Amino acid sequence: MRGILLGLVLGCVPLLAWAQDSAPVASLDRSRVGVGETVTLNIEIGDQTTDSPDLSPLTPDFIVLGTSTNHTLSIIDGKRESKTILGIALRPRREGHLTVPALSIGGQRTQPASLDVVASSDTGTPAADRPVALEGTAEPRRAYVGQQIDYTLRLYFSVNLADGQLGDPTAEGAEVRRVGQDANYQTMRGGRRFNVVERHYAIFPQHAGTLEILPPAFQGTAVDPTDANSFFGAGQPVNAVAEKVRVDVRARPASATDGAWIPARDLKLTLDGLPANGKARVGQPLTLTMHLTATGMPFEALPALSLPKLDGADVYPDKAVTGGGLSGSWVTGRRQQGFAVVPTRAGTLHIPSTTLHWWNVVTDKPEVATVPARDIDVAEGGAAAPATTAGAVTLPSAASPKATTAAGVATSAVPDAGYPWRSLFVGALALWLLTLVAWFVVARKGGLRQAREAVPPADAPTRERPAHALFLKTVAGTDFAAMERSLLQWARTVRPPLRTLGELSAALREGAQTDAIAALQRARFAGGEAPGAILRDAFERGFDWSTPAASKNDGGLPPLYPR
CATH number at residue 30: 2.60.40.740
* CB distance 390 to 441 below 8 Å: no
Res 131 pLDDT > 60: yes
Q: Residue 547: inside a domain, yes or no?
A: no
221 and 292 assigned to the same domain: no
137 and 96 assigned to the same domain: no
241 and 268 assigned to the same domain: no
Res 149 pLDDT > 80: yes
The predicted pLDDT at position 289 comes to 96
Rg of the chain over Cα atoms, rounded to whole angstroms, equals: 39
DSSP 32: E
CA angle 212, 214, 219 (to 5 degrees): 170
Residues 6+ apart with CB under 8 A from 236: 221, 222, 223, 224
Give the helix ranges, DSSP H, for 308-419. Answer: 394-413
Domain containing 136 equals: 132-250
Q: Residue 140: which of 364, 345, 383, 327 has the closest Cα?
A: 364
Distance CA 490, CA 471 (A): 7
Q: Residue 75: inside a domain, yes or no?
A: yes
The predicted pLDDT at position 285 comes to 92
Integer distance in angstroms from the first to the last C-alpha of the chain? Answer: 72
Q: Residue 77: inside a domain, yes or no?
A: yes
Q: Residue 415: inside a domain, yes or no?
A: yes
Q: Residue 478: inside a domain, yes or no?
A: yes
Q: Residue 219: inside a domain, yes or no?
A: yes
108 and 152 assigned to the same domain: no
Res 549 pLDDT > 70: no
Note the pTM of the prediction, 2 decimals. Answer: 0.53
Q: Residue 214: inside a domain, yes or no?
A: yes
Neighbours of 327 (CB within 10 A): 12
246 and 347 assigned to the same domain: no
Distance CA 535, CA 471 (A): 9
Res 374 pLDDT > 90: yes
Last residue of a domain, one of 93, 118, 143: 118
What does pLDDT average to over the chain? 78
Q: Residue 39: which of 117, 135, 125, 102 has the closest Cα?
A: 117
Q: Is 75 exposed, middle or buried (0-12, 13-18, 19+ CB in 10 A)?
A: exposed
Give the helix ranges, DSSP H, for 147-294. Answer: none
Last residue of a domain, one of 86, 118, 150: 118
> What is the CATH number for 205?
2.60.40
Distance CA 160, CA 113 (A): 32
Q: Residue 351: inside a domain, yes or no?
A: yes
149 and 173 assigned to the same domain: yes
DSSP 463: S
Least confident piece of the model among 250-259, 270-279, 295-304, 475-484: 475-484
Q: Residue 376: which of 321, 310, 458 has the closest Cα?
A: 310
476 and 427 assigned to the same domain: no
71 and 53 assigned to the same domain: yes
Helix-, strand-, coil-residue percentages of the chain, each rounded to 5: 25, 40, 35
Res 13 pLDDT > 50: no
Last residue of a domain, one of 413, 428, 454: 454
436 and 487 assigned to the same domain: no
The pLDDT tens digits for 239-260 are 888 889 999 999 999 989 888 9
242 and 322 assigned to the same domain: no
Q: Residue 118: which of 103, 142, 97, 102 has the closest Cα?
A: 97
**How many folded domains does the chain comprise?**
5
Q: What is the mean pLDDT of residues 362-376?
A: 94
Res 153 pLDDT > 60: yes
Residue 390, phi then psi, degrees to nearest 5: -65, 140
Neighbours of 96 (CB within 10 A): 12
Q: What is the mean pLDDT of residues 433-461?
A: 59
